[in-house]
Chain A
Amino acid sequence: MDNILEIQNLSKSYKNFTLDNLSFNVERGSVMGFIGPNGAGKSTTIKLIMNLVKKDSGNINIFGLDNLKHEKEIKEKIGFVYDENYFYEELNIIEMKNILQPFYKSWNDTLFEKYIKEFELPKKNKIKNLSKGMKMKLSLALALCHNAELIIMDEPTSGLDPVFRSELLDILYNVIQDENVSIFFSTHITTDLEKIADYITFINKGKLVFSQPKDEIIENYGLVKGDKELLDSDTRREFVSIKETSFGFEALTKDIVNARKIFKGKGLIERASLEDIMVYTVRGNG
């Protein structure tokens, strides 16, 4: 398997935020979910990949090429969808498409027409009159029509209602049936990823927490619930973080197998969702 995106020791400092030595890879044909709380550095990472901000150090290789040296070549094959819609609002959908189209060598207009129909987008409406969901669909249609091999999305589902979100995920699900296309998808709504992601990269406060296959994460992490009596200095060490109440505790472990041995017959042990993992890890780091 080759990597479509490789990030090595990527760093970028702002006044009150630092992206610190971030490294991870995205395999060709896979969906990478990029999660973390607000302000974790997700958007900064995406902006670095797209060369919208300058890195301080590190390497970004896309399609095996340096993202700065081969910027134009790389961007021919990238489709992007951002959290907000940066369109010329006075234009209608077709006019906007006509502006973007000439920049791509391999634009497929038939495909665009197909998506417009499928997404039920009104061609003649000014973009400013479209709903947020519609704009997001337009972004997606525009991102999918030039044979992109990597689709980069920054919080595409934020601010969308559940119906739109699930529709968007269905569309993505169809897109990834093409083995050649990879998706890099940042979100803080982790349930979006449970359906479509193959891998999860989790960052917090500018640092990598993990980058692993989703199934591995779901299999290894666990949530332990029980009486406070079960907590002592030894068992506490098993957990990423612990939430204690007057009734008992809930805690996240990275090793559910080991936790099952330790707390056999005493506590309640269940699988952790991505949301649990994110919430407990962030708290543990706090």
Chain B
Amino acid sequence: MFNLVIKDIVIQKKNFLLTFFYTVFFSFTFSSFKPIGLGLYVLAPIVVSFMFISNAANYDDKNKCELVLNSLPIKRADIVISKYISIFLYVIISITYSVLIGFIGKTAGLSIYNISISSFNIISVLTSICIFSCIFFPLYFKFGIIKIQMLILIPFMLIFSLTVLAIKYAIENPNNILVQKLTNTSIFTLNFLALVICLIILLISLMISIRIYKNREF
């Protein structure tokens, strides 16, 4: 199973540099967004993780490599599980990029990098990517990426915009009951809740994907 995760990394080695520059680009473009650090520590990792997830799927589909994978001594369920495991790997990589760029920027004395990553940033990234993956993977395992290529941008853009809008709304309306309730709850509780919900929907999505993929015909 871990061989499959490693495979997804190896086939995308070209993307590592590209996504790194994307992170730099995002840290500039969204530097005016409030709260500071949103671009670098939340939006950039979301985009980068999304790129890794969809690229890995693209490479598998492009030359029908799934035919080879499914002819190897591998269980279909393992192919699915490995894709879900790799989500966490991509989130770790993308956040590492952001932290690295933030650190370099801060050391260089650039004002836009004058902030560190918070646990809330990390959970926001993880939550967004989890929700995206929960929708993306069952569709991908059912139809393959070519058929859903245009469609995948919809859940992605939706989640991406919702994240931005929700944060914006919370800042502009600090008196809203829901916002107040959230701000009064400790960050730890919020993070914990988000994480638990994420894992639950991810597990449900995983089970649906396995079921779908077991019946997939090539």
Contacts and interface: CB of A to CB of B under 8 A. Distances in A.
28 contacts: A50-B70, A52-B217, A53-B218, A54-B215, A71-B75, A75-B71, A80-B71, A82-B67, A82-B71, A86-B64, A86-B66, A86-B67, A86-B68, A87-B63, A87-B68, A88-B11, A88-B65, A90-B14, A90-B59, A95-B10, A98-B10, A99-B3, A99-B7, A99-B10, A102-B3, A103-B3, A103-B72, A103-B73
B157 interface: no
A173 interface: no
Interface in A34-93: 47, 50-54, 71-76, 78, 80, 82, 84-91
B74 interface: yes
Interface residues of A, number: 30
Interface residues on B, range: 20 to 34
Given A86-B65, A86-B67, A102-B3, A52 B218 contact: yes
Given A72-B73, A88-B11, A104-B73, 4 more contacts: A53-B218, A82-B71, A86-B64, A100-B68
Contacts of B66: 86
Contact of A90 (B11, B71, B74, B217): B11
B141 to A, nearest CB: 15
Nearest to A76: B73
A86 B70 contact: no
B63 A86 contact: yes
Contacts, number: 68
A208 to B, nearest CB: 23
Contacts of B62: 89
Contact of A87 (B65, B73, B75, B217): B65
A87 B218 CA distance: 16
Contact of A54 (B68, B72, B73, B217): B217
Contacts of A98: 10
A89 B59 CA distance: 9
Contact of A88 (B59, B71, B75, B218): B59
B67 A52 contact: yes
Interface in A2-48: 47
A69 B59 CA distance: 30
Contacts of B67: 52, 82, 86
